[in-house]
Amino acid sequence: MAQWARRPYADDHPQEQEAPLSGAPWSDPDHGDTGAEGEPAGAGAGRRRGRGSRRAGGQTGGSSFPSRAGREEPPQDPAERARAICLRLLTGTARTRSQLAEALRKREIPDEVADEVLTRFEEVGLIDDEKFADAWVESRHHGRGLARRALARELRTKGVDAAVVDEAVAKLDPDQEERTARALVDRKLRSTRGLDRDRRLRRLAGMLARKGYGEGLALRVVRQALEEEGEDVEAHFWDD
């Protein structure tokens, strides 16, 4: 038994030298009252206590991985951080310069560094507010049926310059806008059947108003749709 106590643990089981620190790493329930390789339980326990003592005294024999608490990461260059943040945010979706600038401010990137990085991204075409606005108008009009007024409001909330917004929404053809309004009304007509005439008028026109259509266009489109269904629509139905 004394011979076992003198033999280094690592020589017996080199693969167990980096046992996990959590839990009870020295227990071996598969051997019952017998130590490793059929040794008496006392011999194994003595050897394990010796290993634990070396660990407690700072000797080698624990995990070979260095402690994270004992090392410090070198400070990352702010410009590198800014570029990494912007590239991550631009992955899979376009962003405006204003959106990216706000993200950099939240991550405490200095303003002068952020401005330099964003300008460089514009120069290489990774940021393009004009293309963003054009794509937004196209997508949101055909996908959600939004009119110019609602589209302009959304673009302004994303920090797009007013002149760029005006130019983008002006590209939406008025005839296309009216056709989209009529398609929205036709889709909603069935759900209003059974209501009285004035309620149908208000509900349909209100739906168009929420999507940014002007009152004149909304009322005209709704009246035409209801008249085609045989409704007798009065000229001044909007008054309370």
Confidence tier at 57 by pLDDT (50, 70, 90): very low
Q: What is the pLDDT of residue 124?
A: 96
CB neighbour list of residue 111: distance below 8 Å, 6 or more residues apart: 105
Q: What is the pLDDT of residue 116?
A: 97
First CA to last CA distance, the chain: 102
Q: Over the stretch 105-153, which tens digit does the pLDDT of each residue have?
A: 999 999 999 999 999 999 999 999 999 999 999 999 999 999 999 999 9
Q: What percentage of the chain has pLDDT greater than the value 90?
A: 58
Q: Which range has the worst mean pLDDT, 59-63, 110-114, 155-159, 175-179? A: 59-63
Q: Distance of CA 166 to CAs 23, 124, 140, 150, Å?
A: 65, 25, 16, 12
CATH for 127-171, options being 3.40.1350, 1.10.3470, 3.40.210, 1.10.10: 1.10.10
Q: Which range has the worst mean pLDDT, 158-162, 190-194, 210-214? A: 190-194
Mean pLDDT of the chain: 77
What number of residues does the chain have?
A: 240
